[in-house]
Amino acid sequence: DEETRKDYDYMLDHPEEYYRHYYHYYSRRLAPKVDVTIVILVTVCAISVFQFFSWWSSYNEAINYLASVPKYRIQATEIARQQGLLNKTREKGKNRRSKEEIREEEEEIIKDIIKNKIDIKGGYQKPKIYDILLFQILLAPFYWCKYVVWYCWWIYCFTIKGQEYGLEEKLYIIRRYMKMSQSQFDSLEDHQKETFLERQLWIRENYEVYKREQEEELKKKMAMDPRWKRYRRWMKNEGPGRLSFIDD
């Protein structure tokens, strides 16, 4: 091609610059033959597929765990009986099935009821196609524009007009103070959020007091924890990386 021909002509005119010639030769020989855009696209798609199936695996693990908890299992079994779903699994005559088949079908019915009745939040929530990396990249301009519009609305309502915060705005400020993601905050119990609101933690001074209280409580728990005591004792007596010159 033309680029290679130019390098060749330059080499004939300047044979003494052999290091430069070596560099251009191997840079062209070892240059990737595949378009970088295609490589990036395939990588993003592969990561997205892995994300989606990994989240599905975590979600199924959570469902299997809840199905083994007596509290949720009893409730799901009672709902299944009320809806007549368990009676269908015990058919007689030609449609009669083995006990193993009946047990597996009843297990699937209980899991389906748990999926529909319990809203799992946090890292084990039901995966959504729009949360994977590919869609996040494609929808990034939309999310950015949405954030700019929301931020302008926030400044106008609460900074310029001085309106009072609503419930969602208070919880948003508390979540930002705690440096938690939306999924992490949603996974908290309702009584915890009610405590945050009762103590008015959307006010910075109140949150600082609450934070210090939590830190002191954590220190007390760690001081009373026997495992933490053993660790401190080991750090005091042995410590990491302690050198010894005593002969064996």
Over residues 206-215, the pLDDT tens digits come to: 999 999 998 8
* pLDDT mean over 132-147: 91
Q: Which residue has the higher pLDDT, 196 or 88?
A: 196
141 touches 152 (CB < 8 A): no
Quick check: 97 pLDDT over 50?
yes
Quick check: 35 pLDDT over 80?
no
Q: Note the pLDDT of residue 4.
A: 79
Q: Note the pLDDT of residue 247.
A: 47
Quick check: 60 pLDDT over 70?
yes
Q: Is 122 left (phi over 0), alpha (psi -120 to 50) or beta?
A: left
Listed range (41-45, 130-134, 160-164, 222-226) with the worst mean pLDDT = 222-226
Listed range (2-11, 39-48, 83-92) with the worst mean pLDDT = 83-92
pTM attached to this predicted model: 0.57
**Predicted confidence band at 174 (pLDDT cuts at 50, 70, 90)?**
very high
Q: Note the pLDDT of residue 89.
A: 54
Q: Note the pLDDT of residue 242.
A: 46
Q: Note the pLDDT of residue 202.
A: 92
Average pLDDT, the chain: 80
Q: Note the pLDDT of residue 157.
A: 92
Place of tokens 């006990």: 99
* pLDDT mean over 20-44: 78
Quick check: 245 pLDDT over 50?
no
Q: Note the pLDDT of residue 237.
A: 63
136 touches 44 (CB < 8 A): no
Nearest to 193 by CA among 204, 208, 178: 178
What count of other Cβ atoms lies within 10 Å of the Cβ of residue 59? 17
The gap from C-alpha 18 to its chain's centroid, in whole angstroms, comes to: 53
